[in-house]
Structure 1
């Protein structure tokens, strides 16, 4: 215990004792008065005994005088009778005074008992205050130790920040020099490119002149009608993600249930890109990875200090990340089950993070209103962007992560240039409540453009959702599909009874982009058709809010998780 703390404790104890003395001093005069009255009572009792003896003596004398009354003087007898009457009156008066003193003594005794009880209660209060003072002193010592520890950590952080600032300054100087060289090289390349393009243009002009001379007449209307009547002509037909892949299925049968996989609520779920693993995270601060077919537990990954809010597999499924309420991101290698990186720098809980296409960096968003880019080779933050509002989710528009999309608590979708750190676009008016999740549709494999006749316009090509479309989910109970070329909504998905159950409720596209799934607060899974924008199915297996739902890469299996510790494998 420090000197200041011990001195404060002594001052507090002395102040409590002084207050007790002040409370007790009020009864001192009453005790003195009671003792005086008691002494006076004892003295009067002695006087009463003396007078009683005198009265007995006088009665004896009176009897003697009565025996010799004839011979006594009448005046002397009368005087003796008068004296006796006076003494009897004094005796009666003393008896009355003694009765009054007994009454006063009883009252004072009762008051003394009350004062004694009051003093005992005050002493108990003083003991309680002393005990509380000791506990407070112990707590102050612990708090002082915590403050000292925090000051030590703060000094270490200051040193680390200074070193990082110095390193960043050196890196900035190096980058500026590199930028100058790149600008010079760029200007040279532009000049070479312009010369090359001029040459190409001349060659194309020569080719076009030759083709113009040999041009055939365009097809007739009947020929076009025949083309459009044959759904396989020029390769036009169903646009699926893979010509050998079956369409994604609506989940209907649960073939595996994982009950209580975590000790506490489940917050997140993700399926590996090859569809063989399912990862979950929750309140017990662990990430668990299961086999997607058998449901057997493959890995239990620990290291988070608070609840896990988001998990995500790397593109090659050899790494997995988890974001946590402890303001950090952790990356595990699945072949060893060990943590490769612990990325700290956010000052609020990290709610979402994604790998780039080559797992060289991670982009994360947090409730501290920042977006950070992390270099996994060096293990530190390479870029920080301050957003206007807290983010709930993000997704990458390109594999390199140079442009990202973020969904915010203020209902706005924002587009960010990670190289400059600027917000290049804000999409407002989509939702009336916070955006909970974002998802880009999977890439579609379509017929080669060179096989489509130039005379057919885009209006003849069947509409299909592909990687140029974005799915937004929000707390207002609506989902929007946006065209990323124009950022205009091409369709709204809504259903009676659909209401996301958390701020991070994840919605997902199917593998072929023809279906969208989202879980509601009442445990119902809603499946929409992205061609008609209508609800295709409602399935009920969960009883609490569904936090996430995903199809695997084949589109034949579906996985969902609810907060109350239930994970379902569907087919």
Structure 2
């Protein structure tokens, strides 16, 4: 492109030089025209002077004739008079000839002046056309230079993108090698697990045989009525009882507003969290503030400040003694619940942080960001202790165990990933769950089921044991409003609730997959 521009500039320069040479060829004509104009002016003045002299001579001639006819001193010499008259006539004839020549010269000068005027007009028109062409070429040159600059910047951006893709390809190749090694280990572990499973099944079969023998003994010692009564009570032999159901009240399906908080934030409300004891509600929004309210009275307790941009996620620690906020300013902040004092500002992400969670002991914070990284923060030391890299931006994460050694993460590419945070490796990727970005993850209270929410307007119940989808939850009109739209289990795990973009809350039954209810109070 640079050689093409140089050739074009050289051609333009040659055309301009040719135009200047052509215009310069008319300089002698213009100079001659100016000299002829001066000569014509001088001849016109001389002609006027000669005409004046002619009139004066005629006057003198007439005067002399009258003087001759009326002379008092007698008649003049005829010869002298004739000689004088002949001289005057000769002079008059000469003046007439000179005047004729002047008229002729003046006519020629006027003709030449007209021709030169036409030539000058033509040259001016041509010069004007050349100037317009020069302006057009100058404009075209500026556009070409701008296009060249745009192509240069685009090329530089593409070079940067290529470099990033090459780095990612290198990382993926390393990850592939690591996964192949891990696959070999998993195959070995799988064979060991199969052996252990077979051994366990044999032990359970032996236990079942012993239980049947005991049941036969019990039947032999009981009457028929007692046996029927015992068999009618499933809990007599422990049948149908789930350990997770003990001591847990059944959740009620919401039907009406319990408490309404108005004008919580000056902008949009982005996130909400309830403390584990149910006494506090924390909200975050566009106004860069975290506000804490009493859940029973709705009274405002205090406001936590320090974020430089919008707050996208808030969460309480397991003991409710701390609150964290993930913000668009690429940082996570932690405050003390009792004093509202800022304890930590965790910086290191290069993209907005959209999710963060405490571990079970409130010693660590795990955060996910749009910079495609997940970071582990040591709250005792106040720095990042581990960073894992993903191929897609993380929208939400949850802990599989209280220590945070295994976590789930949901990503914009619609993939559910499982991470071993002790090694920083991705141990599993579940694709095909959703056709759109995963917006949230929530673990059931018994820790056996994970619910995923997605922009494809569906929720998936996933088994933790097999990572297979158990059930799809959907409803007509349900549509998440953002990439961080959350879904949540009820305390007993029998219900799942999620908010839609139209302001409606949808509640599903996790046992049947049916929509229990939908309530709309938001506008």
Alignment of 1:334-483 (within 5 A): 334-442=337-445, 466-483=446-463
Q: Which residue in 1 is equivalent to 2:267?
A: 264
Tell me if structure 2 keeps the 8 A contact 1:248–1:512. Answer: no
Q: Does 1:81 align with 2:85?
A: no
Q: Does 1:299 align with 2:302?
A: yes
Residues 317-375 of structure 1: CA deviation (Å, up to 9, x unaligned):
22111112222211111222222111122222222110011211111112222222111
Q: Which residue in 1 is equivalent to 2:521?
A: 541
Q: Which runs of 5+ in 1 are unaligned?
A: 1-18, 123-200, 443-465, 544-571
Rounded to whole Å, the distance in 2 between the matches of 1:326 and 1:410 is 23
Rounded to whole Å, the distance in 2 between the matches of 1:83 and 1:239 is 145
For the pair shown, the structure with the greater C-alpha radius of gyration is 2
Rounded to whole Å, the distance in 1 between the matches of 2:262 and 2:276 is 21
Rounded to whole Å, the distance in 1 between the matches of 2:269 and 2:281 is 13
User: In structure 2, do the counterparts of structure 1 residues 385 and 244 end up closer, same or farther at CA, with 3 Å as the change threshold?
Assistant: closer
Structure 1 range deviating more: 399-408 or 224-233: 224-233
User: In structure 2, do the counterparts of structure 1 residues 39 and 321 end up closer, same or farther at CA, with 3 Å as the change threshold?
Assistant: farther
Q: Does 1:504 align with 2:507?
A: no
Structure 1 range deviating more: 39-48 or 365-374: 39-48
Query: 1:489 aligned to 465, 469, 473, which one?
Result: 469
Q: Does 1:523 align with 2:519?
A: no
Tell me if structure 2 keeps the 8 A contact 1:258–1:295. Answer: no
Report the alpha carbon displacement of residue 66 of structure 1 after superposing the two structures with TM: 5.2
Rounded to whole Å, the distance in 1 between the matches of 2:483 and 2:223 is 57
Q: Which runs of 5+ in 2 are unaligned?
A: 1-12, 66-80, 136-202
Rounded to whole Å, the distance in 2 between the matches of 1:92 and 1:511 is 122
Structure 1 range deviating more: 371-380 or 245-254: 245-254
User: In structure 2, do the counterparts of structure 1 residues 347 and 221 end up closer, same or farther at CA, with 3 Å as the change threshold?
Assistant: farther
Query: 1:325 aligned to 321, 324, 328, which one?
Result: 328
Q: Does 1:247 align with 2:251?
A: yes
SS in 1 for 2:484: coil
Q: Does 1:276 align with 2:284?
A: no
Report the alpha carbon displacement of residue 541 of structure 1 after superposing the two structures with TM: 2.4
Residues 462-491 of structure 1: CA deviation (Å, up to 9, x unaligned):
xxxx33111111111111112212222222
Rounded to whole Å, the distance in 1 between the matches of 2:219 and 2:457 is 54
Rounded to whole Å, the distance in 2 between the matches of 1:519 and 1:297 is 24
Rounded to whole Å, the distance in 2 between the matches of 1:476 and 1:537 is 20
SS in 2 for 1:53: helix
Given the two structures, how large is their TM-score scaled by the length of structure 1? 0.60
Report the alpha carbon displacement of residue 51 of structure 1 after superposing the two structures with TM: 3.2
Rounded to whole Å, the distance in 2 between the matches of 1:212 and 1:293 is 53
Q: Which residue in 2 is equivalent to 1:9?
A: none
Q: Which residue in 2 is equivalent to 1:49?
A: 45
Rounded to whole Å, the distance in 2 between the matches of 1:357 and 1:288 is 24
Report the alpha carbon displacement of residue 393 of structure 1 after superposing the two structures with TM: 0.8
Report the alpha carbon displacement of residue 225 of structure 1 after superposing the two structures with TM: 6.5
Report the alpha carbon displacement of residue 238 of structure 1 after superposing the two structures with TM: 9.9
Q: Does 1:60 align with 2:60?
A: no
Rounded to whole Å, the distance in 2 between the matches of 1:489 and 1:228 is 35
Given the two structures, how large is their TM-score scaled by the length of structure 2? 0.65
Report the alpha carbon displacement of residue 240 of structure 1 after superposing the two structures with TM: 8.2
Count of aligned positions:
404
Residues 506-552 of structure 1: CA deviation (Å, up to 9, x unaligned):
11112222221111222222111112211111222233xxxxxxxxx
Rounded to whole Å, the distance in 2 between the matches of 1:289 and 1:469 is 30
SS in 1 for 2:47: helix
Tell me if structure 2 keeps the 8 A contact 1:414–1:426. Answer: yes
Q: Which residue in 2 is equivalent to 1:90?
A: 102
Report the alpha carbon displacement of residue 39 of structure 1 after superposing the two structures with TM: 8.4
Higher helix share: 2
Rounded to whole Å, the distance in 1 between the matches of 2:237 and 2:276 is 32
Q: Which has the higher contact order (CA 8 A, sep 6+)?
A: 1
